[in-house]
Amino acid sequence: MPQVKIIAKNFMDMVASLTAIKLDKLYNNVFICEAILRSLPPLAKKYVLQLLFIDDPVPCTRIEEWVLPGGLSKHRVAIDRLIQLRIFTETVDRREGTCFSLNPTFQNNLQKHIISGGVLPREPMNSSNGIKLPSLQELETYALQQWECFLLQLINSGQGEKLTGISSSMMKVFQRGLLSQRDRDGPRLTESGFQFLLMDTNAQLWYIIREYISNAEERDVDPADLISFLLELSFHVTGEAYNLNTLTDVQRTTLKDLADLGLVKLQQGRKDSWFIPTKLATNLSVSLADSSVRKEGYVMMETNFRMYAYSTSKLQCEILRLFARIEYQLPNLIACAVTKESLYNAFDNGITSDQIITFLQQNSHPRCADRVPSIPENVTDQIRLWESDLKRIEMTQAHFYDEFPSKDVFEGACNFARQWGGLLWEDSKRMRLVVKSEVHNQMREYLHTQGN
């Protein structure tokens, strides 16, 4: 999905912003090296693998020979990304010119991982210790319930309800862009918050992870350590139990936050405590590579603007309510309609027509998804037209001037406003004009001098 590509790129920009010392520390983990490799553009992956067992610097001109003439722009993007992540080290040779070699730490650990595989710092707990593990289906249901509960909290906050059961760390993530707080009022969804709710699940997840890492230092946590732990977590086995005693205090606190989102399930035994990764956690590095599998849709859109959603989810009902009018709800069916009023409300909240159309396309029922187009053209055209209606009038703060003492003073004022780029309207017969608020003070001083 395009959204995942953008967010994954932003996440990798965060990795690239780390110091050389922290990056080398990150690359000391073989699993992190693999996760970083997965995130690279296809051509960049090719360069890394071709140079993996070459110790000497390779001239830039020789690397360019591996690229077809039409792929030079992709070549530059790949090289830029490898340099930003300090995977490529650039040197200059008198005879060969610019040369590239792999970061030794990254190279050595990736070689080891490819040849002999890596060993996680923790092994799954023995099930003979009386550990009762949930089935994969139960674990998937738990993860879905936790994630939907988290999103419902965001939606309810838009209605003035208070957030409950969410850690202070996660609250800071929300307040960085999804929620706004005004004095005595409860938290409210921002425009970004409404747009966030229409994003794909993987895109939502990486948005939260990115923001969670961004404010790590406010919690006295090293971002490099946090990135390492999160990417390492993606290589654990879904459904297996891992002892919490093998984690540091910071990692245990992080797991409590991740449990709120459904990435892990925490369990307590008589002697030991453990965590169980869900698919949301083990798919982190997969999401980073933008190779998520399309989920089955549930929305059927008709040409008469009526919409039927085959779902039992309260969350999906509330998301549809962001831009549609809910008419009635059965145990497994939500009947609604896209109206001018419901769309105007969505546009007022910062949701765009393209986001609504993309959401409908991505969530089309299988019977509609294979149809071209999956959403009737008259519906998509009308949604865009209703949005353009709101853009026909542009609101500009202005000041109105009349009762000029003479024609000369009026024309002088018009010329003055025009020179400042603030003239909006003039009526030469009645000697009236309207200027932008930005030039009001200058206009007032000008008229004052003319009056003297």
Q: In which residue are the tokens 């992870």 written?
A: 209
| 200 contacts 360 by C-beta, under 8 angstroms | no
pLDDT tops 70 at residue 375: yes
Judge whether residue 146 has pLDDT over 80: yes
Give the mean pLDDT of 186-190: 70
The dihedral formed by the CA atoms of 351, 356, 362 and 366, expressed in degrees to the nearest 10: 150
Does the structure show a pLDDT above 90 at 307? yes
What was the pLDDT predicted at 16? 82
pLDDT band at 408 (very low <50, low <70, confident <90, very high): confident
CB-based contact 295:327 (threshold 8 Å): no
Mean pLDDT throughout 374-403? 88
Model confidence at 1, in pLDDT bands (50, 70, 90)? Answer: very low
List pLDDT tens digits, range 48-65.
999 999 989 999 989 988
Residue 202 confidence class, pLDDT cut points 50, 70, 90: confident
Residue 181, SS3 per DSSP: coil
Does 291 have pLDDT greater than 70? no
Q: In b/e form, how buried is each residue of 56-79, taking b as 16+ CB within 10 angstroms?
A: ebbebeebeeebeeeeeeebeebb
Six-digit token pair at 347? 């546009």
278, 238 in Cβ contact below 8 A? yes
CB 157, CB 186: distance < 8 Å: yes
Q: Which domains does the chain show, CATH number per domain?
A: 2-116 (1.10.10), 127-288 (no CATH), 299-390 (no CATH), 398-451 (3.30.70.2610)
Place of tokens 């369990």: 267
Element (H or E) spanning 103, and its range?
A: none
pLDDT at 2: 43
pLDDT of residue 342: 94
Residue type, 162: K
168, pLDDT greater than 80 = no
Place of tokens 């961004």: 214
Closest to 284 measured CA to CA, from 210, 177, 193: 210
Question: Does residue 293 surpass a pLDDT of 50?
Answer: no
Residue 165's pLDDT band, with cuts at 50, 70 and 90, is low
Asked whether the CA dihedral 40, 41, 46, 47 is positive or negative, the reply is negative
Taking residues 301-317, report their average pLDDT.
Answer: 92
Q: What pLDDT score does 4 carry?
A: 42
Confidence (pLDDT) at 130: 65
Position 328 confidence tier, pLDDT thresholds 50, 70, 90: very high
The residue-averaged pLDDT of 136-162 equals 80
Given this model, what pLDDT does residue 397 score? 87
Collapsing DSSP states into helix, strand and coil, what is residue 97? strand
Q: Which residues contact 424 (CB under 8 A, 6 or more apart)?
A: 396, 398, 434, 435, 436
Does the structure show a pLDDT above 80 at 170? Answer: no
Residue 28 corresponds to which tokens in the numbers above?
């000391």
CA distances, 34 to each of 30, 31, 114, 251, 274 (Å): 6, 5, 9, 21, 26
Q: Structure tokens of 279?
A: 């698919």
Q: What is the mean pLDDT of residues 310-326?
A: 91
Cα–Cα dist 129/206, whole Å:
35
Say yes or no to pLDDT of 196 above 50.
Answer: yes
For residue 5, what pLDDT is reported? Answer: 45
Q: Tokens 């654990």, residue?
A: 236
Query: What mean pLDDT comes out for the span 386-404?
Result: 84
Asked whether the predicted pLDDT for residue 287 surpasses 60, the reply is no
Q: Which tokens is 289 given? A: 């590579």
Burial letters for 160-180: b for 16+ Cβ neighbours within 10 Å, e otherwise?
A: eeebeebeebbeebbeeebbb
Q: Which H helix or E strand runs over 250?
A: helix 249-261
Asked which of 28-42, 301-315, 332-346 is least confident by mean pLDDT, the reply is: 28-42
Q: Is the per-residue pLDDT at 240 higher than 60? A: yes
What does the alpha-carbon distance between residue 7 and residue 177 come to, in Å, rounded to a whole number? 14
Mean pLDDT of 85-94: 89
| Contact predicate 227/234, CB 8 Å | no
Percent of the chain with pLDDT over 70: 89
**CA distance to 22, 47, 179, 213, 385, per residue, from 198 (Å):** 35, 36, 15, 22, 20
Long-range Cβ contact pairs of 423-431 (< 8 A, separation 24 or more): 424/396, 424/398, 430/402, 431/402, 431/403, 431/404, 431/407
- pLDDT (mean) for 373-395: 88
Q: Tokens 């086995």 map to which residue?
A: 237
Backbone angles phi, psi at 371, to 5 degrees: -80, 145
Model pLDDT, residue 320: 93
Q: What is the mean pLDDT of residues 195-199?
A: 84
Which residues does residue 329 pair with via DSSP β-bridges, in sequence order? 334
Which residues are CB-contacts of 174 (< 8 A; sequence separation ≥ 6)? 154, 163, 166, 187, 193
Return d(Cα 178, Cα 290) in angstroms, integer: 23
